[in-house]
Amino acid sequence: MNKKITALVALAASACGAGLAQAQASEGISDGIVRIGVLTDMSGAYSGNVGPGSVLATKLAIEDFGGKVLGKPIEMLSADHLNKTDVAAGRAREWMDREKVDVVTELGNSAVALAVMNIAREKGRMTMVTGAGATRITGEDCSPNNVQWVYDTYALAKVGTLPLVAAGAKKWYFVTADYAFGHSLESDGMRFVKEGGGTVAGSVRYPFPGTDFASFLLSAQASKADAVGFASAGADLQNEIKQAREFGLADRQKLVAMLMSITDVHGVGLEAAQGMTFAETFYWNMDDETRAFAQRFFKAANKMPTALQAGQYSAVLNYLRAVEKSGTDNVDAVMKTLRAMPIHDAFARNARLREDGKLIHDTYVVEVKSPKESQAAWDYYKIVKTVPGDQAFMPLAESQCKLVKK
- The band of 14, judged by pLDDT with boundaries at 50, 70 and 90, is very low
Half-sphere exposure in the Cβ direction for 210 (13 Å, CA):
27
- The band of 383, judged by pLDDT with boundaries at 50, 70 and 90, is very high
pLDDT tens readout for residues 255-294: 999 999 999 999 999 999 998 889 999 999 999 999 999 9
Domain with CATH 3.40.50.2300 in the chain: 34-151+286-363, 154-285+365-391
Contacts of 79 (CB under 8 A, 6+ apart): 37, 38, 39, 40, 42, 91, 95
Report d(CA 123, CA 120) in Å as an integer: 5
Does residue 3 carry a pLDDT above 90?
no
Contacts of 398 (CB under 8 A, 6+ apart): none
pLDDT tens readout for residues 185-226: 999 999 999 999 999 999 999 998 888 999 999 999 999 999
Question: CA torsion angle for 112, 141, 104, 59 (degrees, to 10)?
Answer: 90
Does residue 13 carry a pLDDT above 80?
no
Whether residue 209 has a cis bond before it, omega within 30° of 0? yes
Report d(CA 130, CA 16) in Å as an integer: 44
First to last CA, the chain: 65
Report d(CA 44, CA 108) in Å as an integer: 11
Contacts of 351 (CB under 8 A, 6+ apart): 343, 344, 359, 360, 361, 362, 389
- The pairing of strands 103-106 and 126-129 is parallel
How is domain 154-285+365-391 classified at the architecture level of CATH?
3-Layer(aba) Sandwich (3.40)
Residue of higher predicted confidence among 216 and 405: 216
Count of residues for the chain? Answer: 406
Q: Which fold has domain 34-151+286-363?
A: Rossmann fold (3.40.50)
Nearest to 375 by CA among 312, 285, 314: 285
Residues facing 387 on adjacent strands: 363
Report d(CA 228, CA 225) in Å as an integer: 7
pLDDT tens readout for residues 93-120: 999 999 999 999 999 999 999 999 999 9
Cβ atoms of 380 and 265 within 8 Å: the answer is yes
- The band of 139, judged by pLDDT with boundaries at 50, 70 and 90, is very high
